[in-house]
Structure 1
Amino acid sequence: MNRARALVAAVAVVCVAALGATGCATLPSSSSPQVIDTFSPSGAGLAVPTPVPDQEPDLLVRDFLKAAAIADQRHAAARQFLTPEAAENWDDSAETTIVLRADLSAEGGRGADSAEYTLRAEKVGSLDPGGIFREDVGQLEVTIGLARQDGQWRIDQLPPGVVIERTEFVSTYAQRDLFFLTGSGDSLVPDTRWTAADRTDLGFSLVNLLATGPRPGIGNSVLSRVPTSVSVRPDEAADGGAGTAIDFTGLPVLSSQATTQFAAQVVWTLARADVPGPYRLERDGAPLDERYVDGWTTEDVMSFDPYPPVEPMEYALTAADGLVRLEGAGARPAGGPWSQVRGGRSATMSHDGRLLAVIAGQDRAGPQRVLIGAIDGEPAEALTARTLTGPTFHPVDGRAWVMADDSRLVRIGAGGDPPSVQEMDGAPIRALGSRVTGLRIDQSGAQLAVVVDGKVFIGALSAETGQPLAGTFRQIGRALGESATVVAWRDRSTIVVGRDTSEAPVTTITVDGAMTEPLSQRNIAGPVTAIAAAGREVYVVDQRSLLRLDTAAETGDRYWREINGLAAIRADPVVAG
């Protein structure tokens, strides 16, 4: 994500919080990858605050907070605002807390040579070493003491850790993805990190981060061909040509397949961060692969594209007329047995486009059933339950998942007579609450999004068994309160949430919880009861009908629009997922 997008999205977080809540490392380039500081902005255009002569103490604290967003050389910019003794003793590595806005009050009083201020703020999140954002809520209160030395105010007492106001955070940091492999090794999973927005060694920093491994929580969901034993350094023998040259030291000899997987991780991590290519990847000064002496490009690893193009929705499910096909002239019956299904309430297509799973029930108060089968074949009934949430397809094994009666997590395989039904470990989901209304596996098969009791959670799926992993589920979008009803994956790093509110009924959230952005509120009336996404388009069912939004349209043209031929007809979106 580029800096401008980060700024725009961050402003949107404030908007959502107001609507839905009660309150909204420098890495070495030539040694083993380990986190030293948080990150080091080194762009020439960054304005670095410095103490102003005869500055009032409260204004000096304000400038200190701005400087604290710059982690270069153990927060050298911020240490200028401290007395020599405080600068030596300040533990800036303890914790980095991001707050909405810092309010100062001189409750401790101010004398001729001393002052004490209380800083109070609403917490937004924290930033771990390695650029991992963790959403947080609550109030922060710290005391900052100042002393006058040589006629100038300086901070002489402050607690361990760093406090950064969000406005400063988003002006000095940007959201970027590291990429790891799925358990099958043929697809990529994004691991979002926050790095300095402006720095000259971005490529080496990101690859060093890649070598430290994935964030806690997804370690058992992904694989990596970039071992922690490697050191990364610029190729000092490079001729200065176009692109980026990176030399890996300590990299073992890899098979042809592993070399391609390694390159996919590195190339897509660099390309998505706008680090210029081609990428000349070397092992101890020699090309990693002789076929790519001139460098790798994304075209060489295109099969690993983590954000492939997606076609708009082609089908919809109507309660009265079953499956319909969407065409320019309107909607018409898709034909075949699926068009004979009545009472359909939710449908999902497999990622290869061959299978369809439908939850149907003539009466919402009555039993519901899961139908599954080839989209051009005969649907078969797999199970019935009082309530069913889903379905969602796993992209690797092609089986559909549903949550039955808020307690049983099952996956269903098509092709058998009857379809195969396997109980899974639903305990990690049941531990989150009692009522499950949303269930969606991401496009890589590594993560699961659920809505439980109106709250949104993201959890990891085992790379070996596919089961949900206990202890990995974390709530995101806390500013939305308990208003969520349904969820879908917009792409592998962003979800889209439907809510039971009339204000901001549809919202996107990045998987790390750092960015929350309401979508257009034009021509939509919450609550939202169904949601899906395909490429640039988002689809919802509101109080009236099935609607679509083109998120790539000019801002002034972003209206929720009815589907041609389905106006005022009860219908649900049908997309892969």
Structure 2
Amino acid sequence: MVAALVTGAAVLLGGCASLPESSTPQAIGTIAKEPAVTSVPAPTPGREPDLLLRDFFGASTDPGGRHAAARQFLTQRASNSWDDTASTTIVDKVDVLPESRSGDQATYTIRANRVGQLEPGGVYQAVEGNFEAKVRLTRVDGQWRIDELPAGVIMDRPQFLKTYQRKALYFLDPSGSTVVPDLRWISAAQQDMTAQLIDMLIAGPKQSLAGAVLNQAGKVSVKGPITKADGRSAGVGIGFGGLRVDFQGASALDQPAKDQLAAQVVWTLANAEISGPYVLLGDGKPLDDRLPNGWTTADVSSTNPMASATSMVGLHALSNGALVAVTDTGVSPMPGYFGTGPGIRSIALSRDGKLAAAVADTGRTAPDPASALMVGPIEGFASPVVEGATMTRPTWSLGDNSVWTVVDGSRVIRAARDLNTGQLVTAPVDTTEIGSLGATVSELRLSRDGVRAALIVDGKVYVATVRHRPDGTYALGSARPVAVGLGSPAVSLDWSSGDAIIVARAASDIPVVTVAVDGSRMDALPSRNLTPPVTSVDASATTAFVADSRAVFQLNNNDPAGDRYWREVPGLTGVKAIPVLPG
């Protein structure tokens, strides 16, 4: 599995989709983000049947005209009966094994590793397992053609990555204050990308996010053609010049809803490298009279979840069971409970750095609870909230209005301050939908937009959707595996962006990887300078921090690819500690 991870990292798509104003990890050994090949193969005269089959898989990556390119490789009978809408399976390491062959007939067995499933709307689902199918070919006018094949489309992963591009649609968290990425895989020419992305925004989020995000784009439609900002229709989405789009029905929205619609459109197009300014109209009039000449990402920067207070709060660390602030020259103990109370096992700072939540040793032995969740001002007194035998590292929600942890490996608890009494009140989070994942949840981290949770369950990595119900309760659901083929158990994780997770795994060769939130990508991070085991990871948009067997190290995402390696954190040189960032 380790070898598979290294090999897979070398062929996965480069460039994690992320907000343009945030820094993205530089992937190791990935291919270019834009398609390397824009054409698909046509049948070559005299082609041997096994090679023709491989060409067919390459042609299957073009979905245009009901896979018209791939149908060239089929007999008329097979083309008439082939249901290309049944499924889309992405495979790796394809073997074409001969089973029988006569003068005009040949049968082959296709064996491969299943790595993904492409669902309607360009939604990628990571899967694993074996794929096997039989394909029969026959000669037609002296040329081999496929006469019998299974329903659905089979795509070889390298060909898939050359033809499809991963883009992010942006919806809104339930409060409407920040955008949430929804990754999709699209096969479209750049000049068609703008219209396709906006159409997909209007169509709404993927099923796993339905009910968990807002979509102002779903209340409008596009009126007339999308043009460049100067009104020209040619080359929309290519080069400079911006674009103009008129949304029918947008004039009925109030101004906050118009601003939210603009945020969705601007972040989606800017992330797709479609240049602005974006002249956005509602029934012929500007969405905002102050921006008649177009919107930019600066105009919607308040909805960027990556624009957090992390840089203002700074790095902290848990050392000898107490919280310390880290400077370039050393560490200084924090005042109050968290800086003086010994026995803190894990801790999380609120995103504004004003509060802390810690799992502390109660000093009691079984059957009494050994751990307590303590919450309070970062420099003040802390109150006990809940107790249990074990607890995961706490994690803060968007807005710092609640803190979550997993008690005794299975009970997810949300602690929030009661608006009437001011007291911290705990409530269980409904985990019915994710209960079948495994026995023990050892890590839970909320995304910065608050809409997703990354979990480690029995050493495997999942991403679930956070649902806020009308009655005020919360639930976790729609969990999907995202680190298929990780090879070794995951021991720690954190969000580096809204669509990527950093995972520390129990391995000495590749101890840290990044994983896309849809499971489509896994990239090995450098291991230079690390001394496994890596026991903890914490991340911001620009930097990853880990604790290994010796010290705390950092990896700067903005370093050139050839100069990326883990450096010991100034101020923590030679100190055994756990890095702590807000969240």
TM-score range, shorter chain: 0.7 to 0.9
Kindly state the Cα deviation for residue 534 of structure 1 after the two structures are TM-superposed: 1.6
**Partner-residue secondary structure (3-state), 2:331:** strand
Kindly state the Cα deviation for residue 417 of structure 1 after the two structures are TM-superposed: 8.4
Residue deviations 1:313-357 (CA, integer Å, cap 9, x gap): 734333437222211212222344432121222111111221111
Q: Which residue of 2 aligns with 1:14?
A: 8
Q: Which whole-Å CA distance do the structure 2 matches of 1:456 and 1:468 have between them?
A: 21
Q: Which whole-Å CA distance do the structure 2 matches of 1:300 and 1:12 have between them?
A: 41
Q: Give runs of aligned pairs for residues 56-455 of structure 1, distance below 5 A.
A: 56-107=48-99, 109-196=100-187, 198-227=189-218, 230-231=221-222, 234-235=225-226, 239-240=231-232, 242-249=241-248, 251=250, 253-308=252-307, 310-311=310-311, 314-320=314-320, 322-361=322-361, 367-396=370-399, 398-413=401-416, 419-455=424-460
Give 1:104's aligned amino acid.
Answer: V
Q: Which residue of 1 aligns with 2:47?
A: 55
Of the structure 1 ranges 233-242 and 468-477, higher mean CA displacement relative to structure 2 is found in 233-242
Give 1:50's aligned amino acid.
Answer: A
Of the structure 1 ranges 427-436 and 120-129, higher mean CA displacement relative to structure 2 is found in 427-436
Residue deviations 1:189-229 (CA, integer Å, cap 9, x gap): 10010112643210110010111111112112111101266
Kindly state the Cα deviation for residue 180 of structure 1 after the two structures are TM-superposed: 0.7
Q: Which whole-Å CA distance do the structure 1 matches of 2:36 and 2:97 have between them?
A: 35
Name the CA shift for 1:228/1:81 in 2 (closer, same or farther; >3 Å): farther
Q: Which whole-Å CA distance do the structure 2 matches of 1:44 and 1:522 have between them?
A: 31
Residue deviations 1:366-405 (CA, integer Å, cap 9, x gap): 7122222111222333333211112001113522111111
Name the CA shift for 1:258/1:418 in 2 (closer, same or farther; >3 Å): closer
Of the structure 1 ranges 539-548 and 363-372, higher mean CA displacement relative to structure 2 is found in 363-372
Give 1:333's aligned amino acid.
Answer: P
Kindly state the Cα deviation for residue 429 of structure 1 after the two structures are TM-superposed: 4.7
User: Does the 8 Å contact 2:513/2:524 carry over to 1?
Assistant: yes
Of the structure 1 ranges 195-204 and 115-124, higher mean CA displacement relative to structure 2 is found in 195-204
Q: Which whole-Å CA distance do the structure 1 matches of 2:214 and 2:169 have between them?
A: 12
Kindly state the Cα deviation for residue 547 of structure 1 after the two structures are TM-superposed: 2.2
User: Does the 8 Å contact 1:43/1:199 carry over to 2?
Assistant: no
Name the CA shift for 1:188/1:538 in 2 (closer, same or farther; >3 Å): same
User: Does the 8 Å contact 1:455/1:481 carry over to 2?
Assistant: no
Name the CA shift for 1:259/1:228 in 2 (closer, same or farther; >3 Å): closer
Name the CA shift for 1:220/1:364 in 2 (closer, same or farther; >3 Å): farther
Q: Which whole-Å CA distance do the structure 2 matches of 1:44 and 1:325 have between them?
A: 47
Of the structure 1 ranges 385-394 and 414-423, higher mean CA displacement relative to structure 2 is found in 414-423
Name the CA shift for 1:385/1:67 in 2 (closer, same or farther; >3 Å): same
Give 1:195's aligned amino acid.
Answer: I
Q: Which residue of 1 aligns with 2:531?
A: 525
Q: Which whole-Å CA distance do the structure 2 matches of 1:473 and 1:13 have between them?
A: 26
Q: Which residue of 2 aligns with 1:39?
A: none
TM-score, normalization by structure 1: 0.87
Residue deviations 1:44-65 (CA, integer Å, cap 9, x gap): 9712211112121111111111
Give 1:390's aligned amino acid.
Answer: R
Q: Give the % identical residues.
A: 38
User: Does the 8 Å contact 1:531/1:539 carry over to 2?
Assistant: yes
Q: Which whole-Å CA distance do the structure 2 matches of 1:44 and 1:246 have between them?
A: 30
Name the CA shift for 1:506/1:521 in 2 (closer, same or farther; >3 Å): same
User: Does the 8 Å contact 2:306/2:448 carry over to 1?
Assistant: no
Name the CA shift for 1:150/1:286 in 2 (closer, same or farther; >3 Å): farther
Give 2:340's aligned amino acid.
Answer: Q
Give 1:102's aligned amino acid.
Answer: V
Give 1:262's aligned amino acid.
Answer: L
Q: Which residue of 2 aligns with 1:478?
A: 484
Kindly state the Cα deviation for residue 428 of structure 1 after the two structures are TM-superposed: 4.2
**Partner-residue secondary structure (3-state), 1:479:** coil
RMSD of aligned alpha carbons: 2.9
Q: Give runs of aligned pairs for residues 457-496 of structure 1, distance below 5 A.
A: 457-464=462-469, 467-469=473-475, 471-481=477-487, 483-496=489-502
Match for residue 501 of structure 1 among 488, 502, 507 = 507
**Partner-residue secondary structure (3-state), 1:202:** helix
**Partner-residue secondary structure (3-state), 1:513:** coil
Aligned length: 544
Q: Which whole-Å CA distance do the structure 2 matches of 1:555 and 1:364 have between them?
A: 49
Unaligned runs of 5+ in 2: 13-33, 233-239
**Partner-residue secondary structure (3-state), 1:291:** coil
**Partner-residue secondary structure (3-state), 2:209:** coil
Name the CA shift for 1:197/1:341 in 2 (closer, same or farther; >3 Å): farther
Q: Which whole-Å CA distance do the structure 2 matches of 1:516 and 1:379 have between them?
A: 39
Residue deviations 1:136-160 (CA, integer Å, cap 9, x gap): 1111111222121122122222122
Q: Which whole-Å CA distance do the structure 2 matches of 1:400 and 1:44 have between them?
A: 45
Give 1:139's aligned amino acid.
Answer: N
Of the structure 1 ranges 451-460 and 473-482, higher mean CA displacement relative to structure 2 is found in 473-482
Kindly state the Cα deviation for residue 135 of structure 1 after the two structures are TM-superposed: 0.9
User: Does the 8 Å contact 1:489/1:496 carry over to 2?
Assistant: yes
Q: Which whole-Å CA distance do the structure 1 matches of 2:529 and 2:36 have between them?
A: 45
Kindly state the Cα deviation for residue 182 of structure 1 after the two structures are TM-superposed: 0.6
Q: Which whole-Å CA distance do the structure 1 matches of 2:434 and 2:316 have between them?
A: 29
Of the structure 1 ranges 281-290 and 368-377, higher mean CA displacement relative to structure 2 is found in 281-290
Kindly state the Cα deviation for residue 239 of structure 1 after the two structures are TM-superposed: 2.4
Kindly state the Cα deviation for residue 533 of structure 1 after the two structures are TM-superposed: 0.4
User: Does the 8 Å contact 2:220/2:247 carry over to 1?
Assistant: no
Q: Which whole-Å CA distance do the structure 1 matches of 2:336 and 2:400 have between them?
A: 26
TM-score, normalization by structure 2: 0.86
Q: Which residue of 1 aligns with 2:15?
A: none
Q: Which whole-Å CA distance do the structure 1 matches of 2:436 and 2:482 have between them?
A: 16
Residue deviations 1:510-554 (CA, integer Å, cap 9, x gap): 111111112111122333322110222111222222222223222
Q: Which whole-Å CA distance do the structure 2 matches of 1:548 and 1:236 have between them?
A: 45
Unaligned runs of 5+ in 1: 1-9, 19-41
**Partner-residue secondary structure (3-state), 1:217:** helix
Q: Which whole-Å CA distance do the structure 2 matches of 1:359 and 1:349 have between them?
A: 12
**Partner-residue secondary structure (3-state), 2:394:** strand
Q: Which whole-Å CA distance do the structure 1 matches of 2:251 and 2:279 have between them?
A: 17
Q: Which residue of 2 aligns with 1:37?
A: none
Residue deviations 1:16-57 (CA, integer Å, cap 9, x gap): 999xxxxxxxxxxxxxxxxxxxxxxx9997122111121211
